[in-house]
Chains A and B, each alone.
Chain A
Amino acid sequence: MMGKLSKPSQELASRILAEVGFEDRLIGYRLHMRLGAISTSLYSFEETLNLLCEQYPRMDFALLEKWILEVMGDKELSEKIKAIIKKDTSDQKKTYRIRDLMAERLAQCK
């Protein structure tokens, strides 16, 4: 639900809105019946969120959590993602929850 995340600092907001370099990119996958599992380079928080908004997104959540912590520097969000990963629920629901949290964070930063 809205309001799960505390207001980000200006520094954090800047990092979240910025693109990252090649070495810091995250890899996700789009899954589609006609195209297969398409690996995709994600160069920003926003792109990552967008991938999670696809119909069948695929991502290693542990890598995402690490990326949020180490590249984005968002400890609060990474801990919340870590908690979601541990939940005994489907990957689809985990995807939705992580996506919603990221959407909230992005909205805070914009």
Chain B
Amino acid sequence: MNGYLGKILRVNLTDRKISTLNTKDYEPWVGGHGMGSAIFWDLVKDKAISGFDPRNVVTIMTSPLTGTLAPGASGRTELQGIGVQSYPIEWFTRSNFGGRFGAMLKYAGWDGIVIEGKADKPVWIDIRDGDVRIKDAKRLWGLDTWKTQEEIWQEVGGDGKWMVPGAADKGGRTTQRPAVLAIGPAGENLCRIACLIHDAGNASGQGGFGAVWGSKNLKAISVVGTGSIKIADPKALMDARLWAKTHYAMTPDDVTMAPQYFGMPSIPIVFWPRPKQSRPQACLGCHSGCRARYATGRGNESSCAETAFYSQFELKRHSGLIVSAITSLLERFGHEAMAFLVRIFGGKEAPASYIATDLAQKYGINAFELFVGLPYLRDLYKKGVLGPGKAIKSDLPFDRIGDIEFAEKLLRMIAYREGIGNDIAEGFFRAAKKWGRLEEDTDTGLLPYPQWGLPNHYDPRAQLEWGYGSLLGDRDVNEHDFIILTFIATLPIWTRKKLPFSAEEVAKIFSEKLIPYEGDPLMLDYSTNNMYSEHIVKLVAWHRHYTRFWKQSVLYCDMRFPDFINSHTPDRRGITGEGEPKFLNAVTGKNYNFADGMDIGKKIWTLDNAIWSLQGRHRDMVQFAEYIYKTPCCKSASWSGLYYLPGRENGKWKYITMNDRHIDRTKFEEWKTKFYEFEGWDPGTGWPRRRILQSLGMGRVADELEKKGRLGKG
């Protein structure tokens, strides 16, 4: 089994039994999410349990590419189980994190970890090659995620000196620190928005898995390994990496372009300005350093929403700096120089954003919930319903929002469930429900949580594959595959510069790569006339299948794949289609083509839907929040547009503004029917039919659905 280690670690915390699963039994699912779903299906007999139930199983899976040279695929790890964040049902869900944990797990000889049961007191799992022990975590319980890691590093070793972690099974030696995945106080206190943290800046954020671990009394998993991964064709793998570097700029040497984001510098993706003394940092084996390490030591390796949730408020506190800078230079320089100046100074020099981000990590709190929820909290304060003596009691000092004191107080209150923090620890959606505000605030969109009680990301009224896919699935998909379509047009229109591609060209290039539905450019027509069509059915299905396999099972990173359009190639076509299977085949020695992967993706997606069906899903509950149907996206009076997507008007392709659009409930219901039919699911219920399950080799899944009265008709 090239690319695999052949065994999956199975740890039952209830009876402290350590055993193994044979990876070979799950090899048809290839890795990551596919294997995780299949294992979950096999081991969890009652899928309708709560995420807090000890019978819930958490899988932590790698892929054949983990720990290898495959670009953008070596450092990710997929985590699954019944989460506790979504509403009204705690869906079987997924999360994913970067760093070096998955690679270290494979170097220790394991393709994944399966956690079952609940320990009777706090424990941590110590993996040193083949030597696995469940240890008392009494001294770790109560520590933050960083301190926990430090304590474990101290105990296991990894202080830069040679260590022999696996002496019991004749392992090798290493100078590496163990890779640790840990919860903080938020997880211990069962906050539904608690996450898992690995090293710095790697968070398994969505799903509330920090709380799931807390409910199992599992504080941390540490792994250190000295082995290696057998590659079927090392030369082919090296050649593939060089090919990707030469033709598609998949190299750390070129920081001018990142393939997924045409024209976007491959620099750390952070919402604070990088201080001069910083350097990019990558997940293990990745060609792209998308986070940073700073001389200050603050905010290290955090990226994306983690860096945004508080910097959006810190701006408010420190704009005096910007104003001083701007006004003093206004006369000497023009507007272009001013734009440069603002980018450089940005007004975010003070450390509150960095400290708040680090604190969220230490407590183990999901930063994306904070990013969307914190502005909601402030709106309630400004509305006069939250504050001292108000309907929602709170002594949070909103006049200090943007300062570190506010962040420290809020984050502590959430992690330790103090005061209003006890409500927010349930997630902002459940908090709004408790406060009696849910109906009003999801009607107006003041609480922008479009599906399953989870925060808005890309707006479903505009970015259709994102919104529809999130609703038909289990979480905010957080898959940026088609986002480049927005930015190809939006930024040039904003600046009145030449568009790099016409809408028709971009639709053509993308559609060529949408195997097995290739050659249908109308899949990229985001116009209102097309948003409920069979073409958008195919777009959403393609996206669900692609991500379930290539990104969540083979574990290509969302930051770098797919690569539809690439500015380095003569024909502007990216690596997607040819690249994904090339690396997988070099490592495994198999002969997958891109379409094979899409077929497995469909199978995984359908299995997931079978699990959701058993959890209680019915098509009638697959509904957006009311504001998505009632209010326009980006309400506008006279502006040129928030952002644009390709589409057709009067039969002609152009970039169309998404302003003022909402989703029509009746038409969307009709669209759902088409989607269910397309996937082979019963449009009356949304449950998978026997026919599709059998055609995908999942007859036993059909049997169980039938037994539980959840098999689709027809």
Residues of chain A touching chain B, judged by Cβ–Cβ distance below 8 Å, are 1-3, 19, 21-22, 25, 27, 29-37, 39-41, 43-44, 46-47, 49-51, 53, 55-56, 58-63, 85, 89-93, 96-97, 99-100, 103-104, 106-107, 110
Q: Are A60 and B459 in contact (CB under 8 A)?
A: no
Of all chain B residues, which has the CB nearest A92? B495
Beta-carbon contact of A21 and B327 below 8 Å: no
From 317 to 367 in chain B, residues with beta carbon under 8 angstroms from any chain A beta carbon are 319-320, 322-324, 326-327, 330-331, 335-336, 338-339, 342-343, 346-347
- Contact assessment for B496 and A1 in the assembled complex, using a CB-CB cutoff below 8 Å: no
A53 to B320, CA, bound (A): 12
Residues of B contacting A29 in the complex (Cβ-Cβ under 8 angstroms)? 634, 642
Tell whether, in the assembled complex, residue A110 and residue B323 are in contact, meaning their CB atoms are under 8 Å apart: yes
**Contact of A55 with B343 in the complex, beta carbons under 8 Å:** yes
Interface pair B322/A103, CB less than 8 Å apart: yes
B213 within 8 A of A: no
A34 to B463, CA, bound (A): 13
Choice from B331, B456, B494, B637 contacting A60 with Cβ under 8 Å:
B637
User: Which A residues are CB-close (under 8 A) to B637?
Assistant: 60, 62-63
- Considering only CB atoms, which chain A residue lies closest to B326 in the complex? A103
Q: Which residues of B contact A107 (CB under 8 A)?
A: 323-324, 326-327
Q: Are A103 and B327 in contact (CB under 8 A)?
A: yes
Given contacts A46-B316, A49-B323, contact A35 B305 (CB under 8 A): yes
8 pairs of A and B residues whose beta carbons are closest in the complex: A90-B496, A36-B458, A62-B638, A22-B383, A96-B335, A107-B327, A103-B326, A22-B382
Collect the chain A residues with CB atoms within 8 Å of residue B643's CB: 31, 37, 58
B619 at the interface (CB under 8 A from A): no
Shortest C-beta distance, B646 to chain A (Å), equals 17
Choose one: B342, B445, B462, B639; the contact of A53 (CB below 8 Å): B342
State whether A41 touches B642 (Cβ < 8 A): no
B491 within 8 A of A: yes
Inter-chain CA distance A36–B458, complex, in Å, is 5
Q: How far is the CB of B713 from chain A (nearest CB, A)?
A: 38
Q: Is B487 interfacial (CB 8 A cutoff)?
A: yes
B319 touches A50 (CB 8 A): yes
Q: Tell me which residues across on chain A come within 8 A of B271, comparing CB atoms.
A: 32
Ordered by A's residue number, 20 sampled pairs between the chains whose C-beta atoms are within 8 Å are: A1-B330, A27-B635, A33-B483, A34-B269, A34-B304, A34-B305, A36-B459, A37-B462, A41-B379, A50-B347, A53-B319, A53-B347, A62-B639, A91-B496, A91-B640, A100-B330, A103-B323, A103-B327, A104-B327, A106-B319
Closest CB-CB distance, B450 to chain A, in whole Å? 11
Contact of B338 among A25, A44, A100 (CB under 8 A): A100
* Interchain CB contact under 8 A, A61 and B639: yes
CB A25 to nearest CB in B, in angstroms, measures 7
> In the docked arrangement, what's the CA distance between A55 and B344, Å?
10
A60 touches B639 (CB 8 A): yes
Query: Contact: B480 with A33, CB < 8 Å?
Result: yes
Q: Are B638 and A25 in contact (CB under 8 A)?
A: no
Q: A33-B264, A106-B323 given. 16 additional CB < 8 A pairs?
A: A2-B330, A22-B382, A34-B304, A36-B463, A37-B462, A46-B319, A47-B315, A47-B316, A50-B316, A51-B315, A56-B491, A60-B636, A61-B639, A91-B640, A100-B326, A103-B322
Q: How far is the CA of A97 from the CA of B322 in the complex (A)?
A: 15
- Check if B490 is an interface residue, CB within 8 A of chain A: yes
Residues of chain B contacted by A58 (CB below 8 angstroms)? 634, 639, 642-643
Q: Is the CB of B331 within 8 A of A1?
A: yes
A104 CB to nearest chain B CB (Å): 6
Interface residue? B572 (CB, 8 A): no
**B430-463 contact mask (Cβ, 8 Å, vs A): 1 or 0:** 0000000000000001001000000011110011
- Nearest CB in chain B: distance from A10 CB, A: 19
Given the interface pairs A22-B383, A36-B459, A97-B335, the reply to whether A53 lies near B448 with Cβ below 8 Å is no
B382 near A21: Cβ-Cβ < 8 Å: yes
Q: What's the nearest-Cβ distance from chain A to residue B443, in Å?
A: 16
User: Is B375 interfacial (CB-CB < 8 Å)?
Assistant: yes
Chain B residues near A97: list those with CB within 8 A: 335
Contact B326 A39 (CB under 8 A): no
Q: Does B503 contact A (CB under 8 A)?
A: no
Residues on the A chain within 8 Å of B458, using CB? 36-37
Q: Taking the nearest CB of chain B, how far is it from the CB of A48, in angstroms?
A: 10
Q: Are A39 and B448 in contact (CB under 8 A)?
A: yes
What is the distance, in angstroms, from B277's C-beta to the closest C-beta of chain A? 22
Q: Nearest Cβ distance between residue A84 and chain B, in whole angstroms?
A: 11
**CB nearest to B342 among chain A residues:** A53
Residue of A nearest to B322 (CB): A53
Contact of A35 with B308 at beta-carbon distance under 8 Å, contacts A50-B316, A62-B639, A100-B338 already known: yes
Q: How far is the CB of A42 from chain B (nearest CB, A)?
A: 9
Is A30 a contact partner of B312 (Cβ separation < 8 A)?
Answer: yes
- Supposing A50-B347, A91-B640 touch, asked if A37 and B634 sit within 8 A by C-beta, the answer is yes
B37 to chain A, nearest CB (A): 26
- Residues of chain B within 8 A (CB-CB) of A51 are 315
Known contacts A21-B382, A36-B459, A49-B319: does B494 contact A56 (CB below 8 Å)? yes
What chain B residues lie within 8 Å of A103 (beta carbons)? 322-323, 326-327, 330
Please give, as numbers and ranges, the residues of chain B lying within 8 Å of A62 by CB-CB distance. 637-639
Contacts of B331 in A (CB 8 A): 1-3
Complex alpha-carbon distance, A14 and B637, angstroms: 29
Name the contact of A37 in the complex, choosing from B378, B459, B491 (C-beta under 8 A).
Answer: B459
Q: Tell me the bound Cα distance from A43 to B102 in angstroms.
A: 45
Contact residues of B between 72 and 96, Cβ < 8 Å to A: none
Contact A22 B494 (CB under 8 A): no
A49 to B459 Cα, complex, angstroms:
25
**A31-B383 Cα distance, complex, nearest whole Å:** 25
A33 to B635, CA, bound (A): 20
